[in-house]
Amino acid sequence: MRKAPPLRRMADANKKKNFRALFDREYAGKCCGYYTVGNFMTLDPKELSEETAKQLKNVINAEATEYQVKVWEKCFAALIKQFRKHPKYSNLYLIVEYSVPTKQLFARRRTERKVCKRPDIILLERNTVFVLEFKETSKNTPNFSRYLKQTQGYCSRFNLHHKYARKMEVVGCLVFDRSRNYREMIEGIHCISPDKLPEILKEACPEPKKYFRINEWMDGFE
Q: What is the DSSP string of the chain?
A: -PPPPHHHHHHHHHHHHHHHHHHHHHHTT--S-EEEHHHHTTS-HHHHHHHHHHHHHHHS--PPPHHHHHHHHHHHHHHHHHHHH-GGGTTSEEEES--EEEEEEETTTTEEEEEEE--SEEEEETTEEEEEEEESS-TT-TTHHHHHHHHHHHHHHHHHHBTTGGGSEEEEEEEETT--S-EEEETTEEEE-GGGHHHHHHHH-SS------HHHHHT-B-
Domain ranges of the chain: 6-218
Tens digit of each residue's pLDDT (9 = 90 or more) over 18-42: 333 333 446 777 899 999 999 999 9
Say which range, 11-20, 27-36, 77-86, 179-188, has the weakest mean pLDDT. Answer: 11-20
Tens digit of each residue's pLDDT (9 = 90 or more) over 141-179: 999 999 999 999 999 999 999 999 999 999 999 999 999
**Taking residues 114-134, what's their average pLDDT?**
92
pLDDT of 11 over the 70 cut: no
**Taking residues 192-211, what's their average pLDDT?**
97
pLDDT of 115 over the 90 cut: no
What's the mean pLDDT when you consider all of the chain?
A: 86
Confidence grade of residue 13 (pLDDT, cut at 50, 70, 90): very low
The confidence score (pLDDT) of residue 202 equals 97
Confidence grade of residue 17 (pLDDT, cut at 50, 70, 90): very low
Query: The whole model's pTM is what?
Result: 0.84
The confidence score (pLDDT) of residue 26 equals 60
Confidence grade of residue 138 (pLDDT, cut at 50, 70, 90): very high
